[in-house]
Amino acid sequence: MNWEVYIIEARNGSLYTGISTDPERRFQEHREGKTGARFFRTAAPERILWREKQPDRPAALKREIEIKRMSHQEKLLLARGENQDDG
């Protein structure tokens, strides 16, 4: 089973990081609000900003933690494919 780490941008500009085997399905769940994250109760999900494939769930969880520790700006740089160590 292929796992992915994803970042969703909310309508208010905030960023949510999660993992799933099907980010598109998970995005719809977040939008519908029934089984989505509590995070989206205050700001509706707008779009999937970024996705990254991982070989398994443990690797996806590790990467998710790394990304959640990043600043908002670092997450935006990641989503744009820019190296966070530059300038």
Task: Please write the tens of the pLDDT for every residue from 15-56.
Answer: 999 999 999 999 999 998 878 788 998 889 999 999 999 999
- Secondary structure letter of residue 7 according to DSSP: E
Res. 58 pLDDT band, cuts 50 70 90:
very high
Domain count, the chain: 1
CB-side neighbour CA atoms (13 Å) of 74: 9
Residue 21's alpha-carbon distances to 65, 77, 80, 83, in angstroms, are 17, 24, 22, 26
Q: What is the reported pTM?
A: 0.89
Residue 55, domain CATH:
3.40.1440.10
Residue 86 lies in a domain: no
Instruction: Please give the residue range of the domain that contains residue 67.
Output: 3-79
pLDDT of residue 82 exceeding 90, the answer is no
pLDDT of residue 84 exceeding 80, the answer is no
Computed over every residue of the chain, the mean pLDDT equals: 91
Residue 19's alpha-carbon distances to 14, 46, 57, 83, 86, in angstroms, are 17, 17, 8, 22, 27
